[in-house]
Protein backbone atom coordinates (compact mmCIF):
# COMPACT_ATOMS: atom_id res chain seq x y z
CA UNK A 1 0.00 0.00 0.00
CA UNK A 2 2.83 2.35 0.75
CA UNK A 3 4.26 1.81 -2.72
CA UNK A 4 0.94 2.41 -4.36
CA UNK A 5 0.50 5.72 -2.54
CA UNK A 6 3.99 6.72 -3.62
CA UNK A 7 3.01 5.89 -7.21
CA UNK A 8 -0.06 8.07 -6.96
CA UNK A 9 1.97 10.79 -5.24
CA UNK A 10 4.62 10.67 -7.95
CA UNK A 11 2.08 10.90 -10.78
CA UNK A 12 0.37 13.85 -9.08
CA UNK A 13 3.76 15.49 -8.65
CA UNK A 14 4.50 14.97 -12.36
CA UNK A 15 1.12 16.43 -13.27
CA UNK A 16 1.83 19.42 -11.05
CA UNK A 17 5.19 19.99 -12.75
CA UNK A 18 3.60 19.74 -16.18
CA UNK A 19 0.89 22.24 -15.22
CA UNK A 20 3.43 24.65 -13.71
CA UNK A 21 5.70 24.36 -16.75
CA UNK A 22 2.78 24.93 -19.10
CA UNK A 23 1.61 27.91 -17.04
CA UNK A 24 5.11 29.45 -17.02
CA UNK A 25 5.45 29.02 -20.78
CA UNK A 26 2.02 30.51 -21.41
CA UNK A 27 2.79 33.53 -19.23
CA UNK A 28 6.20 33.91 -20.88
CA UNK A 29 4.73 33.87 -24.38
CA UNK A 30 2.05 36.37 -23.31
CA UNK A 31 4.67 38.73 -21.87
CA UNK A 32 6.79 38.49 -25.01
CA UNK A 33 3.74 39.24 -27.15
CA UNK A 34 2.84 42.32 -25.08
CA UNK A 35 6.44 43.59 -25.13
CA UNK A 36 6.74 43.07 -28.88
CA UNK A 37 3.48 44.93 -29.56
CA UNK A 38 4.58 47.75 -27.25
CA UNK A 39 7.90 48.08 -29.04
CA UNK A 40 6.25 48.15 -32.47
CA UNK A 41 3.71 50.77 -31.41
CA UNK A 42 6.29 52.80 -29.49
CA UNK A 43 8.69 52.83 -32.43
CA UNK A 44 5.94 53.90 -34.82
CA UNK A 45 4.91 56.82 -32.57
CA UNK A 46 8.47 57.92 -31.85
CA UNK A 47 9.34 58.13 -35.55
CA UNK A 48 6.68 60.78 -36.16
CA UNK A 49 7.33 62.79 -33.00
CA UNK A 50 10.19 65.24 -33.66
CA UNK A 51 11.11 66.86 -31.32
CA UNK A 52 10.11 64.95 -28.19
CA UNK A 53 10.18 64.98 -24.40
CA UNK A 54 8.61 68.44 -24.25
CA UNK A 55 7.88 70.00 -20.87
CA UNK A 56 5.00 72.49 -20.90
CA UNK A 57 4.22 74.81 -17.99
CA UNK A 58 0.85 76.49 -18.42
CA UNK A 59 0.38 79.73 -16.51
CA UNK A 60 -2.76 81.82 -16.09
CA UNK A 61 -2.30 84.00 -19.19
CA UNK A 62 0.64 82.32 -20.94
CA UNK A 63 2.63 79.10 -21.29
CA UNK A 64 6.29 78.18 -21.59
CA UNK A 65 7.79 75.01 -23.02
CA UNK A 66 11.11 73.34 -23.80
CA UNK A 67 11.71 70.15 -25.77
CA UNK A 68 14.67 68.00 -24.74
CA UNK A 69 14.89 65.27 -27.39
CA UNK A 70 14.75 64.88 -31.14
CA UNK A 71 15.67 67.28 -33.89
CA UNK A 72 13.97 69.97 -35.94
CA UNK A 73 11.99 72.90 -34.66
CA UNK A 74 8.65 73.29 -32.94
CA UNK A 75 6.11 75.94 -31.99
CA UNK A 76 4.23 76.38 -28.72
CA UNK A 77 0.55 77.18 -29.28
CA UNK A 78 -2.09 78.25 -26.75
CA UNK A 79 -5.86 78.27 -26.76
CA UNK A 80 -7.48 80.96 -24.66
CA UNK A 81 -10.80 81.99 -23.16
CA UNK A 82 -11.49 85.68 -22.65
CA UNK A 83 -12.39 89.00 -24.23
CA UNK A 84 -11.27 89.54 -27.80
CA UNK A 85 -11.63 92.99 -29.35
CA UNK A 86 -11.06 91.83 -32.90
CA UNK A 87 -12.55 94.05 -35.59
CA UNK A 88 -16.19 93.16 -35.65
CA UNK A 89 -19.29 95.31 -35.89
CA UNK A 90 -20.57 93.97 -32.56
CA UNK A 91 -17.49 95.11 -30.62
CA UNK A 92 -15.59 92.96 -28.11
CA UNK A 93 -16.66 89.34 -27.77
CA UNK A 94 -16.22 86.84 -24.95
CA UNK A 95 -15.25 83.30 -25.84
CA UNK A 96 -12.47 81.02 -27.00
CA UNK A 97 -9.71 82.28 -29.29
CA UNK A 98 -6.18 81.33 -30.34
CA UNK A 99 -3.40 83.17 -28.55
CA UNK A 100 -0.08 84.23 -30.00
CA UNK A 101 2.18 81.33 -30.98
CA UNK A 102 5.84 81.23 -30.06
CA UNK A 103 8.56 81.67 -32.66
CA UNK A 104 9.80 78.37 -34.15
CA UNK A 105 12.46 77.06 -31.75
CA UNK A 106 15.11 74.36 -32.00
CA UNK A 107 15.38 71.52 -29.48
CA UNK A 108 16.63 72.80 -26.13
CA UNK A 109 15.47 76.39 -26.69
CA UNK A 110 12.62 77.80 -24.56
CA UNK A 111 9.31 78.81 -26.14
CA UNK A 112 6.65 81.20 -24.83
CA UNK A 113 3.11 81.83 -26.05
CA UNK A 114 0.57 84.22 -24.55
CA UNK A 115 -3.15 84.94 -24.34
CA UNK A 116 -2.52 88.66 -23.83
CA UNK A 117 -2.27 90.75 -26.99
CA UNK A 118 -3.12 94.32 -27.93
CA UNK A 119 -6.63 93.18 -28.91
CA UNK A 120 -7.33 90.29 -26.50
CA UNK A 121 -7.14 89.43 -22.81
CA UNK A 122 -7.83 85.94 -21.54
CA UNK A 123 -6.72 82.89 -19.63
CA UNK A 124 -4.86 79.90 -21.04
CA UNK A 125 -7.10 76.86 -21.38
CA UNK A 126 -4.76 74.61 -23.39
CA UNK A 127 -1.10 74.65 -24.41
CA UNK A 128 0.59 72.24 -26.82
CA UNK A 129 3.73 71.88 -28.92
CA UNK A 130 3.49 71.20 -32.65
CA UNK A 131 6.16 70.50 -35.25
CA UNK A 132 7.01 73.09 -37.87
Burial 48-65 (b: 16+ CB within 10 A, else e): eeebeebebebeebbbbb
Q: What local confidence, expressed as pLDDT, does residue 31 receive?
A: 66
If the chain, 132 residues long, is cut into consecutive pieces of 10 residues, what is the mean pLDDT of each piece? Answer: 51 76 77 66 49 87 91 91 77 85 91 91 93 81
Q: Provide the residue range defining the domain that includes 74.
A: 52-131
CB-side neighbour CA atoms (13 Å) of 25: 6
DSSP helix/strand/coil, 117: coil
Q: What local confidence, expressed as pLDDT, does residue 45 receive?
A: 43
pTM above 0.95, yes or no: no
Residues 34 and 86 reside in one and the same domain: no
SS3 breakdown of the chain: % helix, strand, coil, rounded to 5? 35, 40, 25
| CATH code, 111 | 2.60.40
Q: What local confidence, expressed as pLDDT, does residue 132 receive?
A: 77
Residues 19 and 56 reside in one and the same domain: no
48, 63, 82: which is the final residue of a domain? 48
Q: What local confidence, expressed as pLDDT, does residue 47 receive?
A: 44
Q: What local confidence, expressed as pLDDT, does residue 42 receive?
A: 52
Q: What local confidence, expressed as pLDDT, does residue 38 receive?
A: 62
Q: What's the total number of domains in the chain?
A: 2
Amino acid sequence: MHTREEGIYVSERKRGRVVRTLLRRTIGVGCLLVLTCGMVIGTANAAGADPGACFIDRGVTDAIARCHEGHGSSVLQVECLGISAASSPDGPTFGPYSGTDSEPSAVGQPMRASCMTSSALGITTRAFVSDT
